[in-house]
């Protein structure tokens, strides 16, 4: 069971949940995904939206390999080289998650990812059914 909690004593979140409580199921930790397709090619050079789309397709495949889907995600971590582009990343994310009950989330700007052409990296924690 996954429960979304937003305490009244904390400012209302925009696009994420402050607390996600999960019981039962198996914990699944997904490494940060970048904008590479299955053949290892960069997708969306210079385009945060296109890169985020590939990242979420990679996350979708990773979740499926563990018996889950985006409804099982309890936490995302976004790492971006330009936090001003967070809106474009969120637009993509919102096509994959339940926006009425979004996962907990952290977004940070970093000076660089593992390769300079990567603009966004996202990791995830999920709780999938036993």
- State the CATH number of the domain containing residue 90: 3.30.1330.40
In a domain, 14, yes or no: no
pLDDT, tens digit (0-9, with 9 covering 90-100), for 4-35? 999 999 999 999 999 999 999 999 999 999 99
Query: Which whole-number Å values give the CA distances from 56 to 20, 34, 40, 66, in the listed order?
Result: 20, 9, 15, 15
- Scan for tokens 């990812």, then name that residue: 113
In angstroms, the CA 17 to CA 44 distance is 29
In a domain, 2, yes or no: no
In a domain, 6, yes or no: no
pTM above 0.85, yes or no: yes
Q: Which residues pair with 20 in a beta bridge?
A: 4
In angstroms, the CA 121 to CA 115 distance is 11
Q: Is 118 exposed, middle or buried (0-12, 13-18, 19+ CB in 10 A)?
A: buried
Give residue 112's domain range: 24-128
pLDDT, tens digit (0-9, with 9 covering 90-100), for 91-105? 999 999 999 999 999
In a domain, 97, yes or no: yes
In angstroms, the CA 38 to CA 42 distance is 10
pLDDT band, very low/low/confident/very high, at 2 (cuts 50, 70, 90):
very high
In a domain, 109, yes or no: yes
Candidates 33, 37, 1, 124; CA nearest to 74 is: 124
In a domain, 83, yes or no: yes
In a domain, 5, yes or no: no
The total domain count for the chain is: 1
In angstroms, the CA 117 to CA 76 distance is 21
In a domain, 12, yes or no: no
Mean pLDDT across 26-46: 98
């Amino acid at each position: 069971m996954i429960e979304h909690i937003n305490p009244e004593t904390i400012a209302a979140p925009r696009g994420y949940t402050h607390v996600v409580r999960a019981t039962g199921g198996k914990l699944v930790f997904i490494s940060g995904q970048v904008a590479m397709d299955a053949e290892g090619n960069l997708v969306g050079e210079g385009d945060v939206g296109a890169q985020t789309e590939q990242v979420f397709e990679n996350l979708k495949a990773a979740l499926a390999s563990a018996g889950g889907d985006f409804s099982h995600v309890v936490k995302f971590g976004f790492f971006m080289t330009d936090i001003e582009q967070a809106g474009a990343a969120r637009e993509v994310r919102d096509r994959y998650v339940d926006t009425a009950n979004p996962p907990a989330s952290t977004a940070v700007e970093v000076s660089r990812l593992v390769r300079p052409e990567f603009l966004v990296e996202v990791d995830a924690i999920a709780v999938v059914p036993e």
